[in-house]
Structure 1
Amino acid sequence: MGRILRCMLLASLCTLTGLSLASESQWRLVKDEAGVQVYLAEVPGSRYQAYRGVTLMRTEMARLLTVQEDVVASCAWVYACEEQRLLASDGEVDWLYTRLHTPWPVAGRDSIIQVRTRTAADGSVKRQLRGVPDYLPQQPRLVRVSKFEGFWQMRPVGEGQVEVIYQAHTEPGGSLPAWLANSFVVDVPFHTLLALRRLVEAR
Protein backbone atom coordinates (compact mmCIF):
# COMPACT_ATOMS: atom_id res chain seq x y z
CA MET A 1 0.00 0.00 0.00
CA GLY A 2 2.91 2.36 0.42
CA ARG A 3 3.32 5.12 2.85
CA ILE A 4 0.65 7.20 1.43
CA LEU A 5 -0.58 10.17 3.12
CA ARG A 6 -4.21 10.07 3.09
CA CYS A 7 -4.99 12.95 4.93
CA MET A 8 -2.99 15.02 2.92
CA LEU A 9 -5.81 15.16 1.06
CA LEU A 10 -8.41 16.98 2.24
CA ALA A 11 -6.94 19.42 2.64
CA SER A 12 -7.43 19.21 -0.70
CA LEU A 13 -5.72 22.45 -1.14
CA CYS A 14 -2.14 23.95 -1.69
CA THR A 15 1.13 25.14 -3.64
CA LEU A 16 4.85 24.35 -3.18
CA THR A 17 6.17 27.64 -4.44
CA GLY A 18 3.75 29.47 -2.22
CA LEU A 19 4.84 27.44 0.78
CA SER A 20 8.49 28.22 0.19
CA LEU A 21 7.68 31.92 -0.08
CA ALA A 22 5.86 31.91 3.24
CA SER A 23 8.80 32.59 5.54
CA GLU A 24 8.73 31.71 9.22
CA SER A 25 8.16 35.36 10.14
CA GLN A 26 4.97 35.45 8.05
CA TRP A 27 3.14 32.67 9.87
CA ARG A 28 0.58 33.98 12.38
CA LEU A 29 -1.22 31.95 15.01
CA VAL A 30 -4.99 32.06 14.43
CA LYS A 31 -6.23 29.17 16.58
CA ASP A 32 -4.87 27.41 19.67
CA GLU A 33 -7.39 24.95 21.03
CA ALA A 34 -7.41 21.37 22.37
CA GLY A 35 -3.66 21.12 21.94
CA VAL A 36 -3.72 22.00 18.22
CA GLN A 37 -2.17 25.22 16.90
CA VAL A 38 -3.16 26.56 13.48
CA TYR A 39 -1.08 29.15 11.66
CA LEU A 40 -1.83 31.01 8.42
CA ALA A 41 0.41 32.83 5.94
CA GLU A 42 -0.24 34.89 2.83
CA VAL A 43 0.97 33.42 -0.46
CA PRO A 44 2.09 35.90 -3.13
CA GLY A 45 -0.07 35.70 -6.24
CA SER A 46 -2.81 33.63 -4.58
CA ARG A 47 -6.20 34.54 -3.11
CA TYR A 48 -5.89 31.63 -0.69
CA GLN A 49 -3.74 31.43 2.43
CA ALA A 50 -1.35 28.64 3.32
CA TYR A 51 -2.06 26.81 6.57
CA ARG A 52 0.04 24.98 9.11
CA GLY A 53 -1.30 22.77 11.90
CA VAL A 54 0.89 21.58 14.78
CA THR A 55 0.19 19.17 17.62
CA LEU A 56 1.77 16.54 19.88
CA MET A 57 0.41 13.01 19.82
CA ARG A 58 0.89 10.49 22.63
CA THR A 59 1.71 7.54 20.42
CA GLU A 60 4.53 5.63 18.80
CA MET A 61 5.64 6.45 15.28
CA ALA A 62 4.76 2.96 14.04
CA ARG A 63 1.13 3.30 15.10
CA LEU A 64 0.83 6.77 13.59
CA LEU A 65 2.18 5.57 10.24
CA THR A 66 -0.08 2.51 10.27
CA VAL A 67 -3.17 4.66 10.78
CA GLN A 68 -2.15 7.10 8.06
CA GLU A 69 -1.56 4.29 5.59
CA ASP A 70 -4.99 2.72 6.07
CA VAL A 71 -6.58 4.17 2.94
CA VAL A 72 -9.97 2.56 3.49
CA ALA A 73 -10.40 4.10 6.94
CA SER A 74 -8.75 7.46 6.30
CA CYS A 75 -11.94 9.42 5.70
CA ALA A 76 -12.76 8.90 9.37
CA TRP A 77 -10.11 11.48 10.27
CA VAL A 78 -9.46 13.54 7.13
CA TYR A 79 -11.68 16.60 7.35
CA ALA A 80 -14.46 16.82 4.71
CA CYS A 81 -13.33 13.56 3.11
CA GLU A 82 -16.03 11.55 1.31
CA GLU A 83 -13.83 9.08 -0.55
CA GLN A 84 -10.16 8.24 -0.68
CA ARG A 85 -8.32 5.54 -2.52
CA LEU A 86 -4.84 4.54 -3.58
CA LEU A 87 -4.32 4.82 -7.33
CA ALA A 88 -0.76 3.57 -7.63
CA SER A 89 2.40 2.96 -5.65
CA ASP A 90 6.03 2.88 -6.76
CA GLY A 91 8.57 2.51 -3.97
CA GLU A 92 8.51 5.64 -1.81
CA VAL A 93 5.97 7.39 -4.07
CA ASP A 94 2.18 6.95 -3.96
CA TRP A 95 -0.71 8.54 -5.85
CA LEU A 96 -3.93 9.17 -3.96
CA TYR A 97 -7.41 10.14 -5.13
CA THR A 98 -9.64 12.10 -2.75
CA ARG A 99 -13.22 13.30 -3.13
CA LEU A 100 -14.21 16.12 -0.79
CA HIS A 101 -17.51 17.24 0.63
CA THR A 102 -18.51 20.88 0.24
CA PRO A 103 -21.72 22.51 1.53
CA TRP A 104 -24.55 23.12 -0.90
CA PRO A 105 -24.64 24.79 -3.38
CA VAL A 106 -20.85 24.69 -3.86
CA ALA A 107 -19.74 21.96 -6.30
CA GLY A 108 -17.85 19.06 -4.78
CA ARG A 109 -14.09 18.90 -5.21
CA ASP A 110 -11.71 16.08 -5.92
CA SER A 111 -7.92 15.95 -5.95
CA ILE A 112 -5.10 13.69 -6.99
CA ILE A 113 -2.02 13.93 -4.83
CA GLN A 114 1.45 12.50 -5.29
CA VAL A 115 2.92 11.55 -1.93
CA ARG A 116 6.66 11.03 -1.52
CA THR A 117 7.69 9.58 1.85
CA ARG A 118 11.16 9.75 3.34
CA THR A 119 12.50 8.62 6.71
CA ALA A 120 15.43 10.46 8.30
CA ALA A 121 18.22 9.00 10.41
CA ASP A 122 16.60 10.35 13.59
CA GLY A 123 13.41 8.40 12.89
CA SER A 124 11.36 11.38 11.69
CA VAL A 125 9.16 10.89 8.65
CA LYS A 126 8.22 13.48 6.03
CA ARG A 127 5.52 13.04 3.41
CA GLN A 128 5.85 15.60 0.62
CA LEU A 129 2.49 16.31 -1.09
CA ARG A 130 2.05 17.58 -4.64
CA GLY A 131 -1.11 17.89 -6.69
CA VAL A 132 -1.16 16.14 -10.07
CA PRO A 133 -4.58 17.21 -11.39
CA ASP A 134 -4.10 15.70 -14.86
CA TYR A 135 -3.26 12.21 -13.57
CA LEU A 136 -6.89 11.16 -14.28
CA PRO A 137 -9.64 12.71 -16.41
CA GLN A 138 -11.95 15.06 -14.55
CA GLN A 139 -15.12 13.54 -13.11
CA PRO A 140 -18.65 14.76 -13.97
CA ARG A 141 -20.15 17.25 -11.50
CA LEU A 142 -16.86 17.60 -9.62
CA VAL A 143 -14.29 20.41 -9.73
CA ARG A 144 -10.69 19.22 -9.74
CA VAL A 145 -8.37 20.95 -7.24
CA SER A 146 -5.99 22.76 -9.57
CA LYS A 147 -2.93 23.12 -7.30
CA PHE A 148 -1.88 21.50 -4.06
CA GLU A 149 1.48 21.54 -2.31
CA GLY A 150 2.32 20.67 1.25
CA PHE A 151 3.75 18.12 3.63
CA TRP A 152 3.31 16.04 6.75
CA GLN A 153 6.27 16.12 9.16
CA MET A 154 6.32 13.63 12.04
CA ARG A 155 9.15 13.72 14.57
CA PRO A 156 9.59 11.60 17.71
CA VAL A 157 10.19 13.88 20.69
CA GLY A 158 10.64 11.27 23.43
CA GLU A 159 8.42 9.90 26.19
CA GLY A 160 6.10 8.22 23.69
CA GLN A 161 5.20 11.43 21.86
CA VAL A 162 5.37 12.50 18.22
CA GLU A 163 5.27 16.09 17.00
CA VAL A 164 3.05 16.29 13.91
CA ILE A 165 3.01 19.20 11.47
CA TYR A 166 0.55 19.37 8.57
CA GLN A 167 1.21 22.27 6.19
CA ALA A 168 -0.32 23.07 2.83
CA HIS A 169 -1.52 25.62 0.30
CA THR A 170 -4.31 25.03 -2.22
CA GLU A 171 -5.88 26.49 -5.28
CA PRO A 172 -9.30 24.80 -5.08
CA GLY A 173 -10.36 25.51 -8.66
CA GLY A 174 -13.69 26.84 -9.87
CA SER A 175 -15.63 29.46 -7.95
CA LEU A 176 -15.38 29.24 -4.18
CA PRO A 177 -17.06 31.74 -1.82
CA ALA A 178 -14.63 33.67 0.35
CA TRP A 179 -16.36 32.53 3.58
CA LEU A 180 -15.89 28.89 2.63
CA ALA A 181 -12.26 29.31 1.56
CA ASN A 182 -11.44 31.20 4.76
CA SER A 183 -13.08 28.59 6.98
CA PHE A 184 -11.36 25.72 5.19
CA VAL A 185 -7.83 26.97 5.78
CA VAL A 186 -8.48 26.84 9.53
CA ASP A 187 -10.88 23.89 9.75
CA VAL A 188 -8.85 21.51 7.57
CA PRO A 189 -5.66 21.38 9.67
CA PHE A 190 -7.47 21.74 13.01
CA HIS A 191 -10.09 19.02 12.58
CA THR A 192 -7.80 16.70 10.63
CA LEU A 193 -5.09 16.75 13.31
CA LEU A 194 -7.61 16.55 16.15
CA ALA A 195 -9.35 13.50 14.65
CA LEU A 196 -6.06 11.80 13.82
CA ARG A 197 -4.74 12.38 17.33
CA ARG A 198 -7.85 10.95 18.94
CA LEU A 199 -7.62 7.88 16.75
CA VAL A 200 -3.94 7.09 17.31
CA GLU A 201 -4.19 7.74 21.06
CA ALA A 202 -7.22 5.47 21.49
CA ARG A 203 -6.44 2.06 22.96
Structure 2
Amino acid sequence: MNTLPGLCALLLTLGCASATAEDWKLAKVEDGIKVYLNRSPTSQYQSFRGVALIKADVATLSHLQENLTIACKWLYACDDMRLLKVDGDSTFVYLTTALPWPANTRDMVLKVQTEQAGDGSVIRHLSAVNGMEPIVPGMIRVEQLQGVWQMVPKGERETEVTYQLQAEPAGDIPSWLANRFVIDAPMVTLKTLRAVAERQGGHAADSDLP
Protein backbone atom coordinates (compact mmCIF):
# COMPACT_ATOMS: atom_id res chain seq x y z
CA MET A 1 0.00 0.00 0.00
CA ASN A 2 1.46 3.22 -0.39
CA THR A 3 0.63 3.22 3.06
CA LEU A 4 0.26 -0.21 4.15
CA PRO A 5 0.00 -3.28 5.91
CA GLY A 6 0.75 -1.93 5.74
CA LEU A 7 1.25 -3.63 8.29
CA CYS A 8 2.15 -1.15 10.47
CA ALA A 9 3.79 1.36 10.74
CA LEU A 10 3.95 -0.54 13.82
CA LEU A 11 4.03 2.59 16.14
CA LEU A 12 6.93 4.52 16.39
CA THR A 13 9.03 6.83 17.22
CA LEU A 14 9.29 3.66 18.37
CA GLY A 15 7.51 3.23 21.44
CA CYS A 16 4.32 1.39 21.30
CA ALA A 17 2.01 3.65 23.10
CA SER A 18 3.94 5.00 26.03
CA ALA A 19 6.79 2.51 26.28
CA THR A 20 10.24 3.97 26.69
CA ALA A 21 13.50 2.43 25.56
CA GLU A 22 14.20 1.20 29.08
CA ASP A 23 10.92 -0.73 29.21
CA TRP A 24 11.90 -3.18 26.47
CA LYS A 25 13.56 -6.43 27.51
CA LEU A 26 15.28 -8.78 25.09
CA ALA A 27 13.29 -12.04 25.12
CA LYS A 28 14.76 -14.07 22.26
CA VAL A 29 17.49 -13.99 19.62
CA GLU A 30 17.34 -16.43 16.73
CA ASP A 31 18.91 -16.37 13.27
CA GLY A 32 19.91 -12.75 13.77
CA ILE A 33 16.38 -11.65 14.68
CA LYS A 34 15.82 -10.02 18.08
CA VAL A 35 12.49 -9.99 19.91
CA TYR A 36 11.86 -7.57 22.76
CA LEU A 37 8.87 -7.54 25.11
CA ASN A 38 7.32 -4.80 27.20
CA ARG A 39 4.66 -4.99 29.91
CA SER A 40 2.07 -2.25 29.79
CA PRO A 41 0.58 -1.02 33.07
CA THR A 42 -2.80 -0.76 31.35
CA SER A 43 -2.96 -4.23 29.76
CA GLN A 44 -2.48 -7.85 30.75
CA TYR A 45 -0.96 -8.51 27.32
CA GLN A 46 2.65 -7.72 26.48
CA SER A 47 3.78 -5.58 23.58
CA PHE A 48 6.39 -7.02 21.24
CA ARG A 49 9.09 -5.54 19.07
CA GLY A 50 11.01 -7.57 16.51
CA VAL A 51 14.13 -6.27 14.77
CA ALA A 52 15.90 -7.83 11.78
CA LEU A 53 18.48 -6.85 9.18
CA ILE A 54 17.27 -7.89 5.73
CA LYS A 55 19.33 -7.96 2.53
CA ALA A 56 16.79 -6.10 0.41
CA ASP A 57 16.06 -2.45 -0.22
CA VAL A 58 13.16 -0.50 1.27
CA ALA A 59 11.29 -0.47 -2.06
CA THR A 60 11.30 -4.27 -2.27
CA LEU A 61 10.07 -4.65 1.31
CA SER A 62 7.38 -2.02 0.79
CA HIS A 63 6.05 -3.82 -2.27
CA LEU A 64 5.93 -7.09 -0.35
CA GLN A 65 3.72 -5.34 2.20
CA GLU A 66 1.58 -3.58 -0.39
CA ASN A 67 0.70 -6.77 -2.27
CA LEU A 68 -1.89 -8.03 0.20
CA THR A 69 -1.99 -11.57 -1.16
CA ILE A 70 1.73 -11.94 -0.62
CA ALA A 71 1.68 -10.02 2.67
CA CYS A 72 -0.82 -12.44 4.17
CA LYS A 73 1.53 -15.33 3.38
CA TRP A 74 4.42 -13.96 5.43
CA LEU A 75 2.46 -12.24 8.20
CA TYR A 76 2.14 -14.61 11.15
CA ALA A 77 -1.37 -16.05 11.70
CA CYS A 78 -2.87 -14.15 8.75
CA ASP A 79 -5.77 -16.03 7.19
CA ASP A 80 -7.09 -13.39 4.80
CA MET A 81 -6.37 -9.75 4.02
CA ARG A 82 -8.25 -7.45 1.67
CA LEU A 83 -8.27 -3.80 0.79
CA LEU A 84 -11.28 -1.77 1.90
CA LYS A 85 -10.33 1.71 0.72
CA VAL A 86 -7.55 4.23 0.27
CA ASP A 87 -8.04 7.75 1.60
CA GLY A 88 -5.06 10.01 0.96
CA ASP A 89 -2.06 8.58 2.80
CA SER A 90 -4.26 6.18 4.80
CA THR A 91 -5.17 2.67 3.73
CA PHE A 92 -7.91 0.59 5.35
CA VAL A 93 -7.51 -3.19 5.36
CA TYR A 94 -9.75 -6.00 6.61
CA LEU A 95 -7.75 -8.82 8.18
CA THR A 96 -8.69 -12.19 9.64
CA THR A 97 -6.38 -14.32 11.75
CA ALA A 98 -6.06 -18.04 12.30
CA LEU A 99 -4.60 -18.51 15.76
CA PRO A 100 -3.77 -21.97 17.11
CA TRP A 101 -6.45 -23.92 18.98
CA PRO A 102 -8.14 -23.20 21.34
CA ALA A 103 -8.27 -19.54 20.27
CA ASN A 104 -11.18 -18.50 18.08
CA THR A 105 -10.69 -16.69 14.77
CA ARG A 106 -10.23 -12.94 15.11
CA ASP A 107 -10.90 -10.20 12.59
CA MET A 108 -10.14 -6.49 12.50
CA VAL A 109 -10.11 -3.39 10.35
CA LEU A 110 -6.68 -1.77 10.23
CA LYS A 111 -5.89 1.80 9.33
CA VAL A 112 -2.39 2.06 7.97
CA GLN A 113 -0.79 5.46 7.61
CA THR A 114 2.55 5.70 5.84
CA GLU A 115 5.32 8.24 6.31
CA GLN A 116 8.44 8.52 4.17
CA ALA A 117 11.56 10.24 5.51
CA GLY A 118 14.26 12.07 3.59
CA ASP A 119 16.79 9.31 4.28
CA GLY A 120 14.62 6.76 2.48
CA SER A 121 13.07 5.30 5.62
CA VAL A 122 9.43 4.23 5.64
CA ILE A 123 7.25 4.11 8.74
CA ARG A 124 3.76 2.63 8.65
CA HIS A 125 1.50 3.41 11.60
CA LEU A 126 -1.17 0.84 12.23
CA SER A 127 -4.32 1.11 14.36
CA ALA A 128 -7.61 -0.75 14.72
CA VAL A 129 -10.73 1.01 13.41
CA ASN A 130 -14.18 0.26 14.81
CA GLY A 131 -17.56 0.47 13.09
CA MET A 132 -16.29 0.34 9.52
CA GLU A 133 -17.25 -3.28 8.80
CA PRO A 134 -20.18 -5.28 10.24
CA ILE A 135 -19.47 -7.89 12.90
CA VAL A 136 -19.14 -11.35 11.34
CA PRO A 137 -20.85 -14.24 13.20
CA GLY A 138 -18.28 -16.62 14.61
CA MET A 139 -15.50 -14.01 14.53
CA ILE A 140 -14.13 -12.08 17.51
CA ARG A 141 -13.49 -8.47 16.54
CA VAL A 142 -10.20 -6.94 17.68
CA GLU A 143 -10.99 -3.34 18.54
CA GLN A 144 -7.79 -2.20 20.24
CA LEU A 145 -4.51 -2.45 18.38
CA GLN A 146 -1.66 -0.16 17.49
CA GLY A 147 1.66 -0.84 15.94
CA VAL A 148 4.48 0.15 13.62
CA TRP A 149 6.52 -1.13 10.76
CA GLN A 150 9.75 0.79 10.37
CA MET A 151 12.17 0.20 7.49
CA VAL A 152 15.51 2.04 7.63
CA PRO A 153 18.09 1.68 4.82
CA LYS A 154 21.47 0.52 6.14
CA GLY A 155 23.30 0.21 2.85
CA GLU A 156 22.67 -0.08 -0.86
CA ARG A 157 20.74 -3.31 -0.47
CA GLU A 158 20.23 -3.77 3.26
CA THR A 159 17.40 -2.61 5.51
CA GLU A 160 16.79 -2.70 9.24
CA VAL A 161 13.16 -3.71 9.77
CA THR A 162 11.30 -3.18 13.04
CA TYR A 163 7.87 -4.72 13.66
CA GLN A 164 6.14 -3.60 16.84
CA LEU A 165 2.65 -4.28 18.15
CA GLN A 166 0.36 -3.82 21.14
CA ALA A 167 -3.10 -5.38 20.96
CA GLU A 168 -6.04 -6.40 23.09
CA PRO A 169 -7.11 -9.64 21.40
CA ALA A 170 -10.61 -9.67 22.95
CA GLY A 171 -12.26 -12.85 24.19
CA ASP A 172 -10.42 -15.46 26.21
CA ILE A 173 -6.82 -16.27 25.31
CA PRO A 174 -4.97 -18.90 27.38
CA SER A 175 -1.90 -17.41 29.02
CA TRP A 176 0.39 -19.98 27.39
CA LEU A 177 -0.89 -18.98 23.95
CA ALA A 178 -0.58 -15.26 24.65
CA ASN A 179 3.00 -15.78 25.83
CA ARG A 180 3.80 -17.82 22.75
CA PHE A 181 2.19 -15.34 20.39
CA VAL A 182 4.30 -12.34 21.44
CA ILE A 183 7.43 -14.34 20.62
CA ASP A 184 6.25 -16.24 17.55
CA ALA A 185 4.47 -13.34 15.83
CA PRO A 186 7.52 -11.10 15.34
CA MET A 187 10.00 -13.96 14.97
CA VAL A 188 8.07 -15.93 12.35
CA THR A 189 6.90 -12.80 10.53
CA LEU A 190 10.37 -11.31 10.17
CA LYS A 191 12.00 -14.63 9.36
CA THR A 192 9.48 -15.33 6.60
CA LEU A 193 9.56 -11.77 5.24
CA ARG A 194 13.35 -11.94 5.11
CA ALA A 195 13.30 -15.22 3.21
CA VAL A 196 10.77 -13.91 0.68
CA ALA A 197 12.56 -10.57 0.20
CA GLU A 198 16.02 -12.06 -0.17
CA ARG A 199 14.79 -14.80 -2.50
CA GLN A 200 13.11 -12.18 -4.64
CA GLY A 201 16.49 -10.68 -5.26
CA GLY A 202 15.34 -7.07 -5.33
CA HIS A 203 12.58 -7.41 -7.91
CA ALA A 204 9.59 -5.56 -6.42
CA ALA A 205 6.30 -7.42 -6.30
CA ASP A 206 3.21 -5.97 -7.94
CA SER A 207 1.01 -3.97 -5.61
CA ASP A 208 -2.68 -4.60 -5.08
CA LEU A 209 -3.07 -0.95 -4.16
CA PRO A 210 -3.21 2.15 -6.30
- TM-score > 0.5, shorter chain as reference: yes
Question: Using the alignment, how far apart are the partners of 1:19 and 1:7 within structure 2?
Answer: 14
Give the Å deviation of 1:133: 2.9
Write the letter of the residue equivalent to 1:5.
P
Q: Is the 8 A contact 1:129 1:151 kept in 2?
A: yes
Question: Using the alignment, how far apart are the partners of 2:62 and 2:102 within structure 1?
Answer: 36
SS in 2 for 1:19: coil
- TM-score under structure 2 normalisation? 0.89
Alignment of 1:93-108 (within 5 A): 93-108=90-105
SS in 2 for 1:183: helix
Q: Is the 8 A contact 1:21 1:44 kept in 2?
A: no
SS in 1 for 2:68: coil
- TM-score under structure 1 normalisation? 0.92
Write the letter of the residue equivalent to 1:20.
A
Q: Is the 8 A contact 1:6 1:78 kept in 2?
A: no
Give the Å deviation of 1:159: 3.9
Write the letter of the residue equivalent to 1:193.
L
* 1:19-78 CA-partner distances (Å, limit 9, x unpaired): 232111010000100111000001111000010000001011111111110012222100
Question: Using the alignment, how far apart are the partners of 1:168 and 1:106 within structure 2?
Answer: 19
Equivalent residue for 1:71, pick from 52, 68, 73: 68
Question: Using the alignment, how far apart are the partners of 1:97 and 1:61 within structure 2?
Answer: 24
Structure 1: state its 5+ residue gaps.
none
Query: CA-atom RMSD, angstroms?
Result: 1.8
Q: Is the 8 A contact 2:19 2:40 kept in 1?
A: yes
Aligned to 1:162: 159
Aligned to 2:186: 189
Give the Å deviation of 1:6: 4.2
Alignment of 1:101-180 (within 5 A): 101-180=98-177
SS in 1 for 2:69: coil
Aligned to 1:2: 2
Write the letter of the residue equivalent to 2:82.
R
Question: Using the alignment, how far apart are the partners of 1:156 and 1:125 within structure 2?
Answer: 9
Percent pairwise identity: 41
SS in 2 for 1:72: helix
Aligned to 1:34: 31
Write the letter of the residue equivalent to 2:103.
V
SS in 2 for 1:73: helix
Q: Is the 8 A contact 1:83 1:98 kept in 2?
A: yes
Is 1:62 paired with 2:47?
no
Aligned to 2:204: none
SS in 2 for 1:200: helix
